[in-house]
Structures are given as structure tokens and as C-alpha cells.
Structure 1
Amino acid sequence: MRNILVIGGSRYFGKTLVARLRDAGDRVTVLNRGSAAPPPGVGHLRADRDDEPALLAALSARTFDAVVDQVCYTPLQAAVARRVFAGRTGRYVMTSTIEVYNPATLPGPARPPRPVPVAEEHLDPTVLPAVAALPWHDTGEVERVLGPARTYSEGKRQAEAVFLREPVFPYASVRVAHVLGGGPADFTGRLAHYVERIGSGTPVDVHEAPYASSFVHHLEIAELLHWAADGEFTGPVNAASHGTLDVRALCEQAGRVLGRRPRYRVVAAGAEASPYSFDRPYAMDNGRAAALGFGFGRTADWLPDAVAEAARTA
């Protein structure tokens, strides 16, 4: 029996991860601010992860075989975790994001030509220039400076860098593709956006020549995080199902499930489009995780069921 701590884990695929770990026979504890109770059979620690003394007090003398950090968004949060869990865990897994590769949010000098789909080694956050003097203790102020999208991606890149520099425990980051499926559990509402528009005949806003991106099913990413918690590899790993899709291909597949032909409206260059219409390339190569032994499914195989689930709960 392994002793696993999940920081966050109170919604979407985090809840599925917690249940998977418990059902596999691990002793699981969830740490959050108390906003959501864990499922039966799972321990619960209440603390604000940004409050280092309170976090230390909540942990007391506990140690863990692995920590899975679902909600690390800033370098300050990473620095606190690095200090607090040094000597307390045999392994630390941070849930990161495909958005770390988004060229629209990378500093200009950090945008060298890269292959697409992009592999892990093509983004080393430890060598990227940090945005000077950002008040990461006040993310609202950071969003005012950078905007929400860049705040999210820059925060994740800098958080990864904190763990990777002078590591104090074996560390891995899981760079998660765009997650789909789960019906009402999908709090992003992005797949529901397409189901509603296609079902009602409302045009979907798209770029003139949208790029393909990477996706992963919500059950598949919970399975991968479980696998990562049990693993021994370190460093970043991309998590994406086989097969990329651009927004039109996604809509065409959804339309076949819904029995409706999608309609489109092309937006002007630089204008906002629907959630998965991208005007820049940053699909991910999943070869490292596959080589390490994780068996990905194919986006085309699970997407119809995800669309039908979203339609049933719309």
C-alpha cells in the first residue's frame, strides 16, 4: 500500500484520480482549503497551500510515497511546496499544461522554430527568461499585466522551473492536453459550447486556417496521473491521446453524432474565436510517455461518446 497525497483533487479528473488511487488500494489523502470533502475512504487535510506555516502545521510529521499536485499555478506556490515537501515525499508529480508550449504566450526570444507536434525537450523552462518583478502573490495584478492566458501559461512554466532547478526530490511534470469528456463534470464548458451551437444551428467562430491541437479524455488523464505517481521517470512528459484535431474536424465529428451539419463564421485575424480554434501551432508529441509504457487511446475513438455525453447533459 502506497501513501499518496493529492493537492487539490476536488473536481473534474482530479476527483477521478483520487477514486482510482483509493480503489487501487493506496492510502490516499486530499489536501485543500476545505471547500470540498473527499470521497469515502480518503483522508482529508485542510490548509491553504499559499500559507506556508499553516501548510506545515496541517502536515505535521506526515510523509508520503508520492505527492500529486493538481493546483500549482505560480512559482511562489512551487517554491512553498519545494520547501515544505523536501524530505517528506519520495516523488512529486505536478499537473502542468499544453499551454506552456503556446507560442502566443512565450517571450519573444523563447520562440525558436520547433517541430510540431512539439516534444518535451523543446521547452526547458529553466532557461526561459522570467518576467521581471511580477507580483505572483496577487494573480489579479499579474493578469492585469499579462492577461489571463499568459498568466496561466507563464505561471505554469515558472512553477515547473522552480521544481526543476536544484531538485530536492524526484520530480515529474505532466503537460496535459486539452481535456474533454465527463459531461457536467467538465466545468470548462468548452465541449458543451460546440454541442450547443451545432445542435441549435448557431455558427461556430473559427479562424480562417485553424491549426490542429492535442486532446485527451478525462478518464485517460486520470489514468496517466495514477501511472505517473507510481512511476520512476523524472522531468516533463506530454499527455495527449493519439491523433490531433483542428476545430473544423472536431465540429465535423460532433456534427455526425448530433445529426447536424456545423455552420461556421470566420473571424478576422487577431479576433477571438471559439475555444479550440487556434491561429498558432502547439500540438504535442506523446512519444515519451508511450516509450515509457503508457498506452494512449485515439481521440477519434473516444470523442463521439464524449460529445454524446455532453449532449445528454446540456
Structure 2
Amino acid sequence: MKSALILGGTQFVGKRLVQLLLEEGIEVTIATRGMTSDSFGDHVSRLKISREDADSLQQAFRDKKWDVVFDQTCYSSQEALDTLKALAGKIKKYVFTSSQAVYDFGTNHKEENFDALEYQPTLKNRKEYSGYVGYQEAKRAAEAILFQNAKVPVVAVRFPIIVGKDDYTNRLKFHVEHVKEEKAMFIENPDLRYSFIDSEEAAKFLFSMAKSDYQGAINPGSKEDISLSELVVLIEDLSETKAIFHVDGDPSPYNLPGSWSVDIHRAQSLGYQFTSLDQLLDQLIHHYLQE
């Protein structure tokens, strides 16, 4: 791999991915709306696009080619189709940032629990998807469009919840701060379980998928999952402070309709290892407590 196009690349995992590629001497182009600044200077090329405007993709990608595209910003079936058309004949591999949300609510999902080749997508724009169910449909439909129509190998990386010191969503930090500051919070279903992955390992995994011969769907992440009640107990133990719960408290950003966790045996069978969930959460909780 000598060249890469990243759709996104200015925030969180995308930024980490760009840095990894640059360190390997890969020629990097980032394609964004141009609304978020980056710190890469003249080390990257930049294209301005709108994922909701097919013409902008055609114009930006005209007369260009890359070895691989990393799609970090696709949130609809229409965007997936428009991007495939705009990149036809211009790439050799498509690495799609998908989500464990493609699975029905539940725990320890294996890749075969959702088959994108069998899913019948409806063409929609991102504004037509709403809430968690809409997000689920969007990722399912985007995968289906890519796997059913791409002329190049496709990898769909079905990430669990991504956490890290650079996590701008502050969803894990929310829980730590509320316990530390003795602020009331509301957790609707404390027994629901979730999977997690470290943001640095997420970026490294994307890079590894691009370099490998693997194609298809794959679940990365810490092999364990955790319930929200167990997460709060861990925070309580490390902060030596009791959490306060109240129906009128600030609602947890992890108040989802059901559990979402994944089985990572396929990634492990390919030689990939991830930080244990206990170690990952322990490090991050300590970090947020010391801020």
C-alpha cells in the first residue's frame, strides 16, 4: 500500500489513522467537508466533499487513484452507493468503519449473525435515519450496498464502543465525572452489557485490515463485555465515592434500548490481540479522575 484516501480523518480514530499511515510513509489524502481543522500541514492532501452531494464526490475524485479507501463518515445507503460510483476504477480495497449496531440487540454476536449479502437495503439519505434504530439500519444498509456492489475487496470493521483519552464524545467521562462530583445520573437499564475498544487499537486495526488479504466483516475489541452497573461499581471503587442515581438525574449516554456486545474470536484467530477490558477501563477511569 502506497497511497490511501480517508473519508474523514480529522477527529478521534480518523486522526490516529492518518498519523499511522504517515509514519509508514504512505501518501495520504483526506476528504472532508473542510469544517474541521487538522494538524497535518503539508503532509497530507485535502479534498473538500459533502457525503450528501454525489456531484461533489465525482468532482473531488476525478482523475485520481488510491490503493485503499478508509470510509469513516458513511451514514446512509445512498452515501455508500454514491461513493462506490465515484471511486469506481480508482481504488483496490474498501475499508468501511461499521458498527456492532448492525446486530440485533444482544451479546457476544459473531460476524455471521448479520449477513450483508442477504440484507435488502432501501436507498435513503442520512436525514431519513433517526435514533438508535435508524443508526442500525443505516450501517446495515451501507454494508449491504458495499458488499453487494463493490468490484474490489471490502472489509466492514464492526466496532464496539470506542473509548480513549481523545474521545470527544465524553460518554465514559460522563459516568466518571458524575460519580466523582456526586452528581445524580439516571441509568435506565443497568444490566445491559456492552463491548469496548481502545481508540489507538481501533486505528491500528483499520490499518492492519488494509494491509491484509482479509475481506468481509470482522469484530475487533476487548474480548470481555461489561454491564453498566458493573461499570459504575468499578468507578465507585477507583474513586472511593458512591454513585447517586435518581430518575431525574442526568441520563446516561449509554442508555440504549438493549445490550450490544461482540465475539472477537475471528479477529483473534487471525492473530490480533486487544487490551483486556479491565485494564482499558482502569486506565481511562484513572485518567478522568485525575483531570
TM-score, normalising length from structure 2?
0.90
Partner of 2:230: 249
Shift of 1:30: 0.6
Shift of 1:248: 1.3
Q: Aligned residue pairs: how many?
A: 288
Partner of 1:57: 59
Q: CA contact under 8 A between 2:4 and 2:68: conserved in structure 1?
A: yes
Q: What amino acid is aligned across from residue 3 of structure 2 in structure 1?
A: N
Shift of 1:278: 5.0
Partner of 1:84: 86
Q: Secondary structure at the match of 1:127?
A: coil
Are 1:175 and 2:166 counterparts? Answer: no
Partner of 1:17: 17
Shift of 1:208: 5.3
Q: CA contact under 8 A between 1:52 and 1:80: conserved in structure 2?
A: yes
Q: CA contact under 8 A between 2:61 and 2:87: conserved in structure 1?
A: no
Q: CA contact under 8 A between 2:6 and 2:70: conserved in structure 1?
A: yes
Q: Secondary structure at the match of 2:11?
A: coil
CA deviations over 1:93-144 (Å, ceiling 9, x no partner) = 01011111143xxxxxxxxxx8x3010101113323546xx7x23x43x24x
Q: CA contact under 8 A between 1:66 and 1:93: conserved in structure 2?
A: yes
1:254/1:52 CA distance change after superposition, 3 Å: same
Are 1:240 and 2:218 counterparts? Answer: no
CA deviations over 1:134-161 (Å, ceiling 9, x no partner) = 7x23x43x24xxx322221111110000
| Residue correspondence of structure 1 range 254-293 to structure 2 within 5 A | 254-265=235-246, 274-277=252-255, 280-293=258-271
Q: How far apart in 2 are the matches of 1:198 and 1:67?
A: 41
Alignment root-mean-square deviation, CA? 2.2
Q: How far apart in 2 are the matches of 1:129 and 1:78?
A: 14
Shift of 1:220: 1.2
Partner of 1:295: 273
Structure 1 unpaired stretches of 5+: 104-113
Structure 2 unpaired stretches of 5+: none
Are 1:306 and 2:284 counterparts? Answer: yes
Q: CA contact under 8 A between 1:86 and 1:169: conserved in structure 2?
A: no
1:56/1:301 CA distance change after superposition, 3 Å: same
Q: Secondary structure at the match of 1:117?
A: strand
Partner of 1:122: 113
1:67/1:300 CA distance change after superposition, 3 Å: same
CA deviations over 1:282-311 (Å, ceiling 9, x no partner) = 310011111122221111112122123333
| Residue correspondence of structure 1 range 2-151 to structure 2 within 5 A | 2-38=2-38, 39-40=40-41, 41-103=43-105, 116-130=107-121, 136-137=124-125, 139-140=126-127, 142-143=128-129, 147-151=130-134
Q: Secondary structure at the match of 1:153?
A: helix
Are 1:152 and 2:135 counterparts? Answer: yes
Partner of 1:194: 175
Q: What is the aligned-residue identity percentage?
A: 27
Q: How far apart in 1 are the matches of 2:73 and 2:204?
A: 18
CA deviations over 1:213-261 (Å, ceiling 9, x no partner) = 1011111111111111212111111122121110011112222332313
1:193/1:102 CA distance change after superposition, 3 Å: farther
1:312/1:13 CA distance change after superposition, 3 Å: farther
Q: CA contact under 8 A between 1:90 and 1:169: conserved in structure 2?
A: yes
TM-score, normalising length from structure 1?
0.84
Q: How far apart in 2 are the matches of 1:50 and 1:273?
A: 31
